[in-house]
Structure 1
Amino acid sequence: MWIHRIFLYFVAKSGVLRASTILRTNAMPLDPALNSLGIAKPVAQTRVVVAMSGGVDSSVVAAQLKREGYDVVGVTLQLYDHGAALAKKGACCAGRDIHDARRVAEEMGFPHYVLDYENTFREAVIDEFADSYLAGATPVPCIRCNERVKFKDLLETAKDLDADCMATGHYIQRKMGLYGPELHSAADANRDQSYFLFSTKPEQLAFLRFPLGHLQSKAETRALAAEFGLGVADKPDSQDICFVPDGNYAKVIEKLRPDAAQPGDIVDMNGTVLGQHPGVIHYTVGQRRGLGVGGLGEPVYVVRLDVDNRRVIVGPKSALATRRVPVREVNWLGDGPFIDQTERQIRVRVRSSRPPAEAILRPLSATEAEIELLNAEEGVSVGQACVFYETESSRVLGGGWIWRGR
C-alpha cells in the first residue's frame, strides 16, 4: 500500500528545552533506562505516531510529546466525504478538524499526514452500523472504529513508519501489572472512555499510550492547550457519532439503505395494536418520547423491536428491567485465558452513560458469557457493549457484545 512507502525522517533538533513531564504514561516502571513513555531509548530517538482528530485532546498529546523532545509524527484519518464533512459541526475527522490538526502540527513543528480511510471506514464501521439498526439492534460504531480502524490499520501504519509507539487522546489509563500492560479507567470518571476501548487487544495495548488518562478534569487539558498556544484550546467537544448529523440515525440509515423504513404497528405486550409507526429504524429499546400512543394511563416505553413483523412493542417501565445479559465476541484483558476463568463477581457497564454495576460473570466458552446483574437494569439493548471491570480496582477486564442469546 502506498502509505507503507511514505518516507519519514524527522530528527528532533538539538537544544530542545525539556519541560517537566506534565503528561505521562501512567504507572510506568521507575527504571532509569526507560523514558517517560516506558521505552528504553533516548527521548529524541523515540518516534511516536499521534492519532490526531483535530480536537483539543489529541492536539495536547502531540504538543506535549513534541515539547518533551520526542520524534512526533501526527496522523489524521479522513473517514468520510471531505465536502460533506465541512458542513457538519461537532464531528471528529471532518474537514475542519483535518485543518485544525494540520495547524497544530505546523505550530509545534512536526510532520503531519492525512490518510484516506474512507473505504475502510465504510466497510468496517458504517455498513455494519446500518445493518445492525435494520436488524433491530442499537450499535456502537465508535467501538468498532477503534477496534477495526484506529487500533488495527492505523496502528499497523504507525509500525510501518518505524514508530516505537502510538499515542492517542483517549481518557483511559495504561498501567503496568505483573503480567504486562493493563487497561484501567481514567482518573476522571466523567471523561472515562473505557467503555469504547474494551475490545483493545493485549498486543495492541503493548504499543499504545494514553497520556491524558491520569488528568483529573478536561479543564486541565484545556489549560495545557492554552499554555502551548494551540488554537484549538477552546474548541467544543464532539457530541455526535462523526458520520451521523445531529444524531439523526434514521436519516443516515435511509440514505445508506433506501426503502429501509417500512411502516408497521405499535403494539402492547399482549399484541394489541395501539398505533402505527413509519419504520422500526426510528426506534430504540428504552425510548419513551415520540411514540404517539398517548392516553394509556401511564407512560410506555419501547421494550422490544420485532423487525421481521415490523412491530414496535411497548410496555411499562418495569418491563425494561433485565437481570441476565448474554454476551458474545468476548475480548478478555484479565489474567489467563478466558475459557479458564471461573464464575466471579465483577462490575459491568451495559451503556456508556451508566456507571459500573455489580454483577456475576459466568464464562460459557472462549468467546461467550452470561452476565447476571445483581440489581436489574432498564434498557439493556442488543448491539450495545457490556464492559467488565474488577470490583476493587479501576482495571478493565474486557467485555463483549450484548445479543439475544440462544
Structure 2
Amino acid sequence: ERGASILCIGPAGERMVSFASVSMDGHTNFGRGGGGAVWGSKNLKAIVVKGRGKVDVADCDSLNKVQSDIMKMLNASPFLSGKSGLINTGTLALLDLTDFRRMMPVRNFSATWFPETGKINAQEMKKIYGRRNYGCYGCPVKCKKFDLKGNPLPEFQSASHLGPLNDNDDIRSIYEANLLCNDMGLDTISFGGTMACYGEFRQKFVTGSQLVSFVRKIAMKEKGDGESLAEGSARWAEFNGCKELSMTVKGLELPAYDPRGAYGMALGYAVSNRGGCHLRSYPVRHEILRRPVATNRFSFEGKARIIKIEEDENASADSLLVCKFLLYGAGIEECARGLTSVTGISYDAQDLLRIGSRIVLLERWINAENGFSKKDDKLPKRFFNEPGSSDDRLEIPPLPEEEFELTLQKYYKIRGCNENGVPRDEMMDSSGAGK
C-alpha cells in the first residue's frame, strides 16, 4: 500500500537461523542478534505500518530553531559533508580509512591490512554499479547508497566482512552476496564472520562465487555445512573443537574494526551488553575520526570513562530513535533541546546521560540474572597473542592483556559494578533502575 512501511523476515528467519535479520522495506535491516529467528519462532512473518495521525509539538518555533542549528552542524562536519563523507560516498568510505590505519579485519582477523582494498572500495563500486543517495524518512545525511537499478549497495560493514574478512577481492560477489543476504534475511556481519571462521578452520577460504552460494545454503539450512553454519561461528567452532577461531564476544561476531588498532574499541567490544558490537559505544569516533578531539588509539588511558559516557550517550540516542550519525555533527545537547521542544518537558544533556546510564545498567543487570559476568566481558585470545599487519610506517602489536584487565576493572568501578561486572544494588537503586 502506498505510504506503508513493512518489516518482514525472509527464509532464514522462517527457519530460525541464529543470525537471521528483520528487514525494513527490503533494504534496511535489524540484523544483529538474531531478531529474525525470534520472529520465526513465533510464526510472525511481517508487520505493516501506515501512519495517518500527526505528532503534537509543544513548541514549533523552538523545534525549528533546533533543526536549523543541527543542519548547520551537519553541514560543517567533514565526516558527513566532506568530499568523501557519508553524504557523498556512504559508509563504504570507511573501507579505505580502516585499511590505511591497519585495522581492517582480514582472513578471520588474522591480519589487519588488505592489499586489494582498492578493487572493492566506494570508487570501484560506483564505477561498476553507479550510485544514488537514499536514506531514512526525512534524513539529510542519506548514508545508504543504491545502484542505478534501485538495489542497495553494500555498506562498509557488509563489504568488509564479505570481502577482506574472507580473503575475497571479487567486488561482484560482494555485491551479489549482500543482495542475497538482504533477500534471504541474514545479518551480513555474522554471516561473514561465520564463513571466515569456517575458512580458517579448513585452511582455505571459499571463493567469491562459493560465498554467494553459501548465503542460500545457510538461509535454507541445507543439510551439511548449511545447517551447521546456521548456528553461527561460536556454536559451530565449539562443535568442531576450534573455539579459538570464533571471533566473537558473548557469542556475537565482531564487526569491521580490528581492536588491535583501537584500544577503546577493544574495551567497547568486551563490555557491550549485546556482545561484539560497535554501536553500543563508538570510540572509533575519537580514536580514528578524531571527533570531538583525538585520543591515542594505542592506549587504554582514560578509555574506561570514555566508554562509559559513550554507552550512556548512545543508549539515550537509541531510546530517542536518533541515528548515531547525527552525533558526528550535533550532539546529545541538541537531542535534549529537541525533546524539550516536542514534549514541553525540560531536558538537558545530563538528564539524557542519566537516562542512558540507567538503560545500560538495567541491561547489564538482566545479563547478570541470566548468568553473564566478567567471564563474558572478554575478547578472543588472538588479539592478545598475535600482532596485526605492521609496516615501516606503523606497528600493530598485540593488545596488552594486563592493561586491558586493569582498564576493565576501572570501567566496572565507574559503571557502578562489582569486580565481577555485576551492577551493585546501591547503584541500581540510586539510578532508578532498581525500582
**Alignment TM-score, normalising by the size of structure 1:** 0.28
**Alignment TM-score, normalising by the size of structure 2:** 0.26
Bigger strand fraction: 1
Higher-Rg member (1/2): 1
Bigger helix fraction: 2
